[in-house]
Structure 1
């Protein structure tokens, strides 16, 4: 190990330190980092391998002893330097006096995280060890795979462990270090099966065979074939090690002594000495291979890691911008902050009402809705005009009922007036419904503006919505009163003579009635009367052939008058609605909101921030800081 560290110190340690530093920042919460995860069935010798690599005693015993993922960071120190240890988990950090205390500290950490029983947790424990006797290497130890729950364990403990293991080994950035005893059929081991599921080509998997001293006589060649990658092929191959057994631990054989005994075992073994000669055996050779594999994996992952950090940094900044900076904590700055927020909101409310672009960035356009609604109103007016062709029977009823002294062929004005009122009255409730539809839509758009303007200030948002609701109801009531007054006025059948004559002339042209082509708008009143009399005489001659002449004349004048009235209503109703529901509402909202913030008694109430938003902003700020620092590490690497 010393030769390895001397030879590769300049390029090995910086790579591993970089990843360890990123993991310390918490970057692994957001993206995967290159790592080696150690997995194996229970009693596979996993803990013994880690002990041999790290030089410390890890928790041992029956059942599940690794109950939380353990990040084992090993850093080689110079000859003569003291041993150093530190354990970190959740918000706790503690120095460890010596190698003998590591077991106890890990158990304490697991009990605090996963409870005092036999449950497991996905929360990470980080163990840092620095010594002249360890390699520059970081490993993640995961709970051993179990099939049967023992006393005190949940029935699905096996599934829980597999789920936890898959959280790590599924990531493309993770190398799976699969520990398998030589004494079992490697093809049946659960750990290798899990590694093959997520890495079918074996590109990220390295096999470790343990307990070679327990191999049955006659099966040694099978073990050799496995190590030579001839049974189940893995791109990273296999290693074989012999660590301390229970007997050696009981005899208090030191890890240094165990390594010497391991070397003697392989060099003197009748079959396995060839594996030693090939560099496939012993813990020191394993440490060398793991270090080189990890460094290679880190270098391979760095370009993609840099891209991911840049992407996450941009995403976090964009998300943080949506939450804003939040209310200032400094007292003198709070009132100006509130005034700025409310002023920006009211200015956007005015912009919304005038069709200008909003400064808040929200894409609200109330006029697209108004165009649709008012176009529909115009369609209703046209539809009612078309229905005049279907009311001839009604006109005949009125003629028979109300015609007095008029001779046949003359229009009964009372009949005309009654039918005009009846038809126009049909538009009153549709106009009021149109007002309510528009009012509801405008209110919803103002609500959206309030949500966007005050996303983190629930009290201010609530007060703004209360103002919007009250003003909306008030302006809707005023507008409805104006509309109903308009229809009351429409019950006075009236239009300017010139406008009505134009309407009659337009209708004659539409219906194909011939007119003198030399007639124009500048002809004097006498000329118009003469030609009009001529037209009426011709009209009477055309239609007096039957008893329906008067009815036809009545229908003609009804349509002519409705044309004038509908043109008036086509503009007047939208103008009333737009003026009261939109323009007046926005102006009143601006006045009410600015008046409200003049009282400092409401200041603290208005600036009370939503807890979830504040927490989210704090988390985003923390993440942003984390990624910026991670980016600086990569730039400086």
Structure 2
């Protein structure tokens, strides 16, 4: 339907405004109906006229006068509570000269309303269904077409009047809501603004002109309407207002005289009101020479001309946008394909969609999808990164000795010994402490599983098969099923991870080649101590140097000799032993048996060292002369004394 409407839009406008309006405005109305049904009004802006004004300013009376029939809800309080899109379509008279006037609602297709009082009741009922019966306001449209030979082709949008104080069920911010609703229409460049202001109020305080000025600051789209000219104060008139001398508008002003509330109560017809309006302007000499600015008839002609001219302005861009949108939609439709009518064909289509979805999911995991993003890791590459980088890093950050102090170790050993002192270090505290540290690996492992689950969920959301665009419910259901499937797989995965950690905690494999036992740990510790202390020979004292002024190497040797002082008064009489021998001696224990080493715990021969063994166990890095040897011995004796 939209394609037919676009193809029927004339490319070149004719010189006559009426024929163009008669051919173009109905096409625009048809497009508006199509977009309203599709709910895509904001995608393409269509030309229309929005009627704005404060509450009880006479907007509804102006619309009724344009139609020539009484069909809108009227009253002293707020009446227009939903936007009413009114499409006036001119029809031809019958050959016998009779007229056929009727209305159609978009929400009641095919039903014609020949009685305009029924149209009023349907508008009121539809408003109450959406906005409630206690003065509530809604932004959902009511679309009404009126076919009559007495109207010109115009599309008008009657918007709720601007109010200040909430009444009934209206929210406290009713004024802000109504202004936001009005701005959503009049801010569009394709929308003309019909600003209605009563003549018995100051034009500078007009809410309609104020909100129109915000949406159209240059005034290229605003038409001013001055109502209630017949109830102005005596001695005043609206001539300067109509001439634009107070607040100028590029499109000018039109003055009208509406039916009063008394006329509505007495059922005075709109036709009689139009006759009375004409008499009013003729009887007022001040309005002489302003015939083109006074009366409903002039307002209808001007609106038609301005709307047609506005359509001529926006027509090229409108047709271009619609053609590009049609091309895009046609490509999308071709990619989606046709819907088979038979059940067998529908089953095959469903199976094809599921197969494509599974292939898309698999290709994203395996990295074979051509549409994968190059800006970030995704799919299987992201899963690999989680395992190899995030998970490994989280494990490396777990310090096995964190929160494990010497006091904890000492307390664990003492608790394991019970009431007696232990000769050997028991294994129970080791297992207790190790289990506690192994348990710390559970949280990083569970976090890794959740990361993988989240990535799989993202992959399932990105596997959008083109056919699924036609079936949003199927797409939603597939997402639910896939999410439940992955969630059901996450629970046993977390349980299995917990079991693995429990298995590692229950059995400590001390037979593993990488496990370091107690004797091996002591041996490695002794080797590290020995390697950190290299043997240093006794340096010769240079001639002419005092002991206090000896080189740093000799002073270091003195310190080592002091540390290596024999326990039982044994003094070396032939030089200083190497550091290795000193360490061997000090580590093996004294001859008194008061101190004992690790080697005595694990068995072996007596580790006591006699003075003879100490004196005979000597090593020299180089031969020394007798003089140097005597000096060294004297020096050592002084040190030990």
Verify same fold: TM over 0.5: yes
Which residue number in structure 1 is paired with residue 58 of structure 2?
Answer: 45
Distance 1:339 1:15 in 2: 45
Which residue number in structure 2 is paired with residue 366 of structure 1?
Answer: 383
- Superposition pairs of residues 442-457 of structure 1, within 5 angstroms: 442-449=452-459, 456-457=477-478
Q: What's the secondary structure of 1:16's corresponding residue?
A: helix
Distance 2:278 2:322 in 1: 44
Distance 2:121 2:320 in 1: 41
Which residue number in structure 1 is paired with residue 367 of structure 2?
Answer: 356
Q: What's the secondary structure of 2:285's corresponding residue?
A: coil
How far apart are 1:484 and its partner, in Å?
Answer: 8.4
Which residue number in structure 2 is paired with residue 169 of structure 1?
Answer: 186
Equivalent residues of 1:177, 1:206 under 8 A apart: yes
Q: Deviations over 1:159-205 (max 9, x none)?
A: 36555444433444432212223233222333333333444443332
Which residue number in structure 2 is paired with residue 292 of structure 1?
Answer: 305
Counterpart among 241, 245, 252 of residue 237 in structure 1: 252
- Superposition pairs of residues 179-578 of structure 1, within 5 angstroms: 179-220=196-237, 223-245=238-260, 255-256=270-271, 258-267=273-282, 269-276=284-291, 279-302=292-315, 330=343, 334=347, 337=350, 341=354, 345=358, 348=361, 352=365, 356-357=367-368, 363-364=378-379, 365-370=382-387, 371-374=389-392, 435-449=445-459, 456-457=477-478, 458-471=480-493, 473-474=495-496, 477=499, 481=503, 487-490=509-512, 543-544=580-581, 546=583
Which residue number in structure 2 is paired with residue 54 of structure 1?
Answer: 67
The 3 A distance-change label for structure 1 pair 348 and 359 is farther
The 3 A distance-change label for structure 1 pair 451 and 476 is farther
Q: Does 1:17 align with 2:26?
A: yes
Distance 2:514 2:42 in 1: 74
Which residue number in structure 1 is paired with residue 155 of structure 2?
Answer: 138
Q: Deviations over 1:473-507 (max 9, x none)?
A: 3367458758987954436769xxxxxxxxxxxx9
Equivalent residues of 1:89, 1:109 under 8 A apart: no
The 3 A distance-change label for structure 1 pair 463 and 327 is farther
Distance 1:548 1:84 in 2: 126
Equivalent residues of 1:421, 1:491 under 8 A apart: no
Q: What's the secondary structure of 1:233's corresponding residue?
A: coil
Equivalent residues of 2:243, 2:253 under 8 A apart: yes
How far apart are 1:249 and its partner, in Å?
Answer: 6.1
Distance 1:328 1:374 in 2: 54
Distance 2:491 2:438 in 1: 25
Equivalent residues of 1:428, 1:484 under 8 A apart: no
How far apart are 1:69 and its partner, in Å?
Answer: 2.1
Distance 1:68 1:24 in 2: 17
481-490 vs 52-61, which deviates more? 481-490
Q: Deviations over 1:586-625 (max 9, x none)?
A: xxxxxxxxxxxxxxxxxxxxxxxxxxxxxxxxxxxxxxxx
Distance 1:336 1:544 in 2: 90
Root mean square deviation of aligned Cα: 5.6
How far apart are 1:295 and its partner, in Å?
Answer: 2.7
Larger RCO (CA under 8 A, 6+ residues apart): 1
Distance 2:49 2:447 in 1: 63
- Superposition pairs of residues 577-592 of structure 1, within 5 angstroms: none
Equivalent residues of 1:443, 1:469 under 8 A apart: no
Q: Does 1:67 align with 2:81?
A: yes
The 3 A distance-change label for structure 1 pair 30 and 41 is closer
The 3 A distance-change label for structure 1 pair 70 and 434 is closer
Equivalent residues of 1:207, 1:237 under 8 A apart: yes
Equivalent residues of 1:349, 1:449 under 8 A apart: no
99-108 vs 124-133, which deviates more? 99-108
How far apart are 1:127 and its partner, in Å?
Answer: 2.0
Distance 2:136 2:435 in 1: 78
Equivalent residues of 1:345, 1:450 under 8 A apart: no
Q: Deviations over 1:417-474 (max 9, x none)?
A: xxx9999999866666654554443344345445656753324531343134324533
The 3 A distance-change label for structure 1 pair 483 and 156 is closer
Which residue number in structure 1 is paired with residue 49 of structure 2?
Answer: 36
Q: Which runs of 5+ in 2 are unaligned?
A: 1-13, 410-423, 464-474, 517-527, 535-576, 589-641
Distance 1:112 1:336 in 2: 40
Distance 1:67 1:379 in 2: 65
Distance 2:510 2:182 in 1: 79
Distance 1:472 1:155 in 2: 51
The 3 A distance-change label for structure 1 pair 549 and 58 is farther
The 3 A distance-change label for structure 1 pair 284 and 421 is closer
Q: What's the secondary structure of 1:236's corresponding residue?
A: coil
The 3 A distance-change label for structure 1 pair 332 and 246 is closer
Q: What's the secondary structure of 1:271's corresponding residue?
A: helix
The 3 A distance-change label for structure 1 pair 478 and 227 is same
Which residue number in structure 2 is paired with residue 568 of structure 1?
Answer: none
Q: Deviations over 1:300-336 (max 9, x none)?
A: 4456656876898899999999x99999994786599
334-343 vs 455-464, which deviates more? 334-343
Q: What's the secondary structure of 2:112's corresponding residue?
A: strand
Q: What's the secondary structure of 1:50's corresponding residue?
A: helix
Q: What's the secondary structure of 2:105's corresponding residue?
A: strand
164-173 vs 289-298, which deviates more? 164-173
Equivalent residues of 1:446, 1:468 under 8 A apart: no
Which residue number in structure 1 is paired with residue 592 of structure 2?
Answer: none
Distance 1:101 1:548 in 2: 120
Q: What's the secondary structure of 1:490's corresponding residue?
A: coil
448-457 vs 480-489, which deviates more? 480-489
The 3 A distance-change label for structure 1 pair 193 and 470 is same
Q: Deviations over 1:52-100 (max 9, x none)?
A: 2111113333323333322211111224374242232546663111456
